[in-house]
Structure 1
Amino acid sequence: MSRPPVAAPPKISAEDVVSFCDFFYKKTGISMDASRRYFIDRRLEERMAANDCKTFREYLALVKFQPGGGEMQALINEMTVNETYFFREDYQFQCLTRHMLDEIADRRGNNRAPIRIWSVPCSTGEEPYTIAISILENWGRANDFDIEILASDIDSRVLGRAQEGIYEARALHRVPTKVRDTYFRKLDNDRWQVIDDLRESVDFSLVNVCNPTQMARMRGIDVIFCRNLLIYFDDLSRRRAAEHFYEALNPGGFVALGHSESMSRISNIFNPRKFPEAIVHQRPVS
């Protein structure tokens, strides 16, 4: 008996790709173009098939007008790339515990308001958990302050994985054995889970940094880790994100970017601060 023919995926034209890239940019600030055509086509074909859409126009209408925006979120989840590990670019965490936190604490004086640190995009959680571990292990004044660690991403799927806190051994390859045994419990030969107390100390939420309404919730932040996100934005989206970060930060607060990113090429509203471990960007104190 012969197998029935497999239906060919819906055809996506060059014009469709241009329309999609424009729509996705307006929604997320993430800039895509025809150089990523294979990636875009494959992801769109998967979502069109999942929704039984025969044409790209039919699918785009669904994404734009679906009540609740569930398919828009599913599309964002498919189009964003999440790859990280614990203690990635650890010189910035050293800068945090050796310099930034002391400066923030000294500026507080008798005000014991919580110190708030925001990891965005947090992906599957390695960065915010690394921040928490670094503070507990290396900042001697940690017990003197309430410390709130916020973590957000545009991808709802990775947030679920982050809250679960389960990682394969390769994600922990930079974690010292003593630290691993203190803050993780072994599940099997290749998987470890962050201990409950540490998982409960991080507040995960869905935030699009290009959405003014969502960003309006982010206020009173002292340090923002935003590493390797802005490289996916164009100049206009980068400037908007920088302005949102400025409004989110307390005066004197810091932004840490990825090693290939430079705030000076985006906006002049921050002051560069050169510490022994890293260059970060500071909202003026006054």
Structure 2
Amino acid sequence: MDDTQQITEDEFKRLADFLYRRTGMVFTETKRYYVERRIIERIVATSSRSFAGYFAYLRSETRNEVEHLINAFTVNETYFYREDHQLACLSSDLLKERVTAKRPGDTIRIWSVPCSTGEEPYSIAIWLLENWKDVDAYDIEIVGSDIDTRVLEAAAEGIFGKRALMRLSPELIERYFHGLDDERWQILEDLRQSVRFSRVNLIETKETRPQGRFDVIFCRNVLIYFDDESRRIAAENLYDNLLPGGFICLGHTESMSRISPLFEVCRYSGAIVYRRPQELRA
């Protein structure tokens, strides 16, 4: 297929519907150029002669090509200590409330979803080591999940460039990374081993439920890509993945109050977060 050829309106709708059913992400005509560029790349990569040929291959193929297609449409813009006011709230307020019902040595579970190439879950680990005085008193389990299998592989490898590290001080970079060359740094193996990575689709209960329940979930800047129905499904899945009294942190442009009535709004000095109530509502 010539990479200058455009897909038809009907083909665009079929593809958008396929992606929506698989991921919950909504692609409208305003994203047409973005969609066309990526679908043409997959058509060429699979040696298909046309969109019709590729779509038939996609629907009959194993999970591999579906994964490749989904990977092509995910957005992975992130860096260390992004929205660090929420990290400050985590160490000063959220964990203080969560440990009231725990004993030293108990497990505290934190979930970063989507985690992209790992900057967020590693940021949580570094922040707690630097800023939470009780970090050694509890067994802290950090899980990073994403729908994009490529970024999960990169996250596990833990190699980052200058832009990803731009908000970290030279002291933190020296303490938690080792340089590979002038442009790349790898996070220390101990920290890489402290984070577990898994593939998860937020609108698939069969994928979210096995992750277990968490004390705190960071789910930032992904629900904006969903429509109302997909947001509701994702919110219900996230609710089920929280322990009673557990917290969820969204991106600064997102509001759980507009999505689901299941959560309580909690306002702290540094952030607005959402909590699963201690008691189930009638």
Q: Give yes or no for TM over 0.5.
A: yes
The number of equivalent residue pairs is 279
Q: Give the drift of 1:189.
A: 1.1
Per the TM alignment, residue 52 of structure 1 is displaced from its structure 2 partner at its CA by: 1.5
Q: Is the 8 A contact 1:11 1:55 kept in 2?
A: no
2:34 maps to which residue? Answer: 39
5 Å-filtered alignment, 1:1-286, equals 7=2, 11-67=6-62, 69-108=63-102, 110=103, 112-286=105-279
Q: Distance in 1 between matches of 2:170 and 2:87?
A: 18
The 10-residue stretch of structure 1 (55-64 or 230-239) with the greater mean CA deviation from structure 2: 55-64
Please tell me the residue identity of whatever aligns with 1:127: E
Aligned-pair identity (%): 48
Letter aligned with residue 261 of structure 1: E
Residue 249 of structure 2 contacts residue 273 of structure 2 at CA under 8 Å; is this kept in 1? yes
TM-score between both structures, scaled by the size of structure 1 = 0.95
Structure 1 residue 140: deviation in Å? 0.7
**Alpha-carbon offset, residue 10 of structure 1:** 5.3
Contact 1:10 1:55 in 2 (8 A): no
Which residues of structure 2 form unaligned runs of 5+? Answer: none
**Partners in 2 of 1:237 and 1:7 — Cα distance?**
34
* TM-score (ref. length: structure 2): 0.96
Deviation at 1:190, TM superposition (A): 1.5
1:34, distance to aligned residue in structure 2 (A): 1.1
Q: Which amino acid aligns with 1:50?
A: A
| Distance apart, 1:111 and its partner CA | 7.5
The separation in 1 between residues aligned to 2:133 and 2:261, in whole angstroms, is: 33
Q: Which runs of 5+ in 1 are unaligned?
A: 1-5
Is the CA contact 2:3–2:40 (under 8 Å) kept in the aligned structure 1?
no
| CA displacement at 1:26 relative to structure 2 | 0.5
CA contact (8 A) 2:110 2:214 kept: yes
Deviations 1:47-96 (A, max 9, x none): 011112122222122222212x1000000111111111000110000000
Structure 1 contact 86–171 (Cα < 8 Å) conserved: yes
Provide the aligned C-alpha RMSD in A. 1.3
Q: Is the 8 A contact 1:84 1:171 kept in 2?
A: yes
CA distance in 2: counterparts of 1:249 and 1:219, whole angstroms: 8
Q: How far did residue 8 of structure 1 move?
A: 5.6
SS at match of 1:251: strand
Residue 147 of structure 1, CA deviation: 0.4
Matched to 1:73, the amino acid is E
Q: Is the 8 A contact 1:10 1:54 kept in 2?
A: no
